[in-house]
Amino acid sequence: MNYLLSSPSLDDLIRLLKAWRFWMLGAMLGALLGAAVYYIIPPPYRAKATINVDFNLEQAWPKDTDRQQFYYLERESRKLEEIAWSDELMEPLSSEFGFSVEELRGRKLQLSQPAEAGWHFYADDTDSQTADALASAWSTAFVSEVQAQIEAGNINGFVRLEATQAKNLPEERSVPLSGYLLVGSVGFLTIAVFVVLFVKPKPESNVS
């Protein structure tokens, strides 16, 4: 027990460096295990739709008032984000695709919202076509609802939306193979290092 709780000595560090073949082998085995997990239990597909959001700051605030522009951008961005997750969008998606609203908000859908420029609407599913259709439907419904809110005066009239990518969406796994390789390699490398540092070597026997 005392050996396990004691700090590594210089001899321990030297022994660790000498065992580089062992922990390199552990890293390789970990990467192979990560790849095996990726292909046996693959992560869901992820589709991405992109809507370009232009707040037209120059027209909304023609004078050089940076603080007002900041608050305008923050306020309108918050409104758009609330629309993206609103019941008006989630409930029709729930009925169409058979997922609960809680599942859509908590696991299936993700929104990358950088205030202005491209808003990315992500959808995850084990079926690539379902992920594609879900992301497309969500982004299309978002544009329609925002346009309706602009006409109703709830969103600033200078806000402009353009669906730059809403059909034939790029699909990829939600977690790339490289992520599995990295986690497996680092995990086994860490285990290998701990084995070398904390497993006490057997003392050499003296031969008379």
Indicate which CATH number applies to the domain containing 100.
3.30.70
- Number of other residues whose CB lies within 10 A of the CB of residue 191: 15
Q: If we measure between CA atoms, which residue out of 177, 187, 174 comes closest to residue 37?
A: 177
Reading the block at residue 48, the tokens are 């991405």
Q: How far apart, in whole angstroms, are the C-alpha atoms of residue 60 and residue 150?
A: 14
- CA pseudo-torsion sign 3, 4, 6, 9: positive
Asked if 64 and 158 sit in the same domain, the reply is yes
CA-based R_g, the chain, Å: 27
When divided into structural domains, the chain yields a total of 2
The answer to whether 159 and 53 have CB atoms below 8 angstroms apart is yes
Q: Whole-prediction pTM value?
A: 0.74
Whether residue 149 sits in one domain with residue 49: yes
Q: Are residues 28 and 127 in the same domain?
A: no
Q: pLDDT tens track of the chain, all 208 residues?
A: 444 445 556 666 676 667 677 777 878 888 888 899 889 988 999 999 999 998 877 766 656 566 667 777 888 889 999 999 999 999 999 999 999 999 999 999 999 877 667 899 999 999 999 999 999 999 999 999 999 999 998 888 888 888 887 777 877 888 888 888 888 888 877 777 776 666 655 555 554 4
User: Does 13 share its domain with 80?
Assistant: no
